[in-house]
Amino acid sequence: MSEEITAFRIDIPQEQLDDLRDRLARTRWPIALPGDDWDTGVPTAWLRELVDYWGSGYDWRAAEARLNEFPQFTTVIDGQRIHFMHVRSPEPDAFPLILTHGWPGSVVEFLDLIGPLTDPRAHGGDPADAFHVVIPSLPGFGFSGPTTDAGWDTDRIARAWAELMRRLGYQRYGAQGGDIGAAVSPQLGRVAPDRVAGVHVNGGPGPLPPLPLTDEELASLSDLERDRIRRIEAFMQEEFGYIAIQSTRPQTLAYGLTDSPAGQLAWLMDKFREWTHPRSVLPDKIVDRDVLLTNAMVYWLTGTAGAAAYVGYAQESAWGATKPNSGVPTAAIVFAHDVGIRRYAEQENTITRWVDVDQGGHFAALEEPETLTADIRDFFRDLR
């Protein structure tokens, strides 16, 4: 098996960009449902304005250049091409850290963290907190797509990450992630406990509480925890539809998302609106619209809507399986949108740090990069 690591540079052919612009201009818009508000999905009026900007104001070449500022590579692990960024710190004693994104995200989420993590000296921090960062695209997502076979659950992804870090020469390292990354990172600690010094997640490492809770158990929770239970229950009632579709019919969904850029954008923006904080504020007022569109472009240009849905949600039994505690020190920072609860997380994880924050949402690296960076530095300071 080849362990070759190949330099990679994003260079999208102009004809792909021309095709996208043509498709955007010819979007066949649905008739707006009564009210045209977020209660029935992404409002037509709002999305039309964003699509207009995508076709006439957004500059992919600028985004491409920004992505290409960071060294990128590909390698084949377990039969799957894996794309990753690898940015070494100028500090000789920097600590290796692998960052894992989720759905509907991509490596784009982490761009504003790379500088402060790798070169804290240049960003007002302590050089002793420097990291070498490795940021892979999940199998089936973006430039790691498409998937070549089935079975890319959290365990298989974690084993691929352990192999990736071995190939890069890192014998001891940390892991961080959110969303799917908050499941992969603790699993990396389980498959390589002798190498993973610590696991840091935003949102909570799971598992979710067994609903419905008894009255006695509810009474034992804090007001904050009870609010999180309420929001988990609301999610299961009001938002679970996208998981049901992606986990059962990802191929059927892929036809529409791969053929229609407006459809792809709407599918992603629905979650950016629901999961950014505060929910009452439009997502492009919380996360820069150019960043939102660059993230969408990663899905569009690689045609990986179906593969990402499949990897993210079609492994139901594996995602929900009970997991052993690795003993690896684990930290969680839970922003205002998210619903992690420490007592349940402690069933599978050795929680040594838990921080609840009254601001920010699910996309922590995009919404609260300074707070997230500071918490990562604080946690790993004694684990290096």
- Catalytic status, residue 382: no
> Of the listed 170, 173, 299, 313, which one is catalytic?
313
**Confidence band of 313 (pLDDT split at 50, 70, 90):** confident
Distance CA 271, CA 5 (A): 34
Active-site hit among 179, 290, 338, 375: 179
Q: Which of 83, 200, 337, 362 is catalytic?
A: 362
* 179 is annotated as an active-site residue: yes
CB atoms near residue 7 (< 10 Å): 8
- Percent of the chain topping pLDDT 90: 92
Given a cut of 80, whether residue 314 has pLDDT beyond it is no
Taking the C-alpha atoms of residue 383 and residue 315, their distance in angstroms, rounded to an integer, is 32
CA angle 347, 351, 357 (to 5 degrees): 110
pLDDT at 101: 98
Compute the distance between CA of residue 130 and CA of residue 91 in angstroms, rounded to an integer. 7
Q: Is the pLDDT of residue 317 over 90?
A: no
Task: For residue range 44-54, list pLDDT tens digits in order.
Answer: 999 999 999 99
Q: What is the pLDDT of residue 172?
A: 98
**Known catalytic residue: 86?**
no
Q: Does domain 5-26+38-207+239-380 have CATH number 3.40.50.1820?
A: yes
* pLDDT tens digits for range 221-237: 999 999 999 999 999 99
Q: Read off the pLDDT of each residue in 167-189 and give the average, rounded to a whole number.
A: 97
The predicted pLDDT at position 178 comes to 98
Confidence at 321, pLDDT banded by 50, 70, 90: low
Alpha-carbon gap, residue 53 to 173, rounded angstroms: 41
Domain ranges of the chain: 5-26+38-207+239-380
Helix (H, G, I), strand (E, B) or coil at 91: coil
Contacts of residue 218, Cβ cutoff 8 Å, sequence gap at least 6: 226, 229
Phi, psi of 381 (to 5 degrees): -55, -40
- The shares of helix, strand and coil residues in the chain, as percent rounded to the nearest 5, are 50, 15, 35
Q: What single DSSP character describes residue 5? A: E
What is the DSSP code (8-state) at residue 176? E
| Of the candidates 319, 317, 300, 243, the residue with the CA atom closest to the CA atom of residue 274 | 243
Strand 196-202 versus strand 329-334 pairing type: parallel
**Which residues share a beta bridge with 6?**
74
- Judged against a pLDDT cut of 90, whether residue 102 lies above it is answered with yes
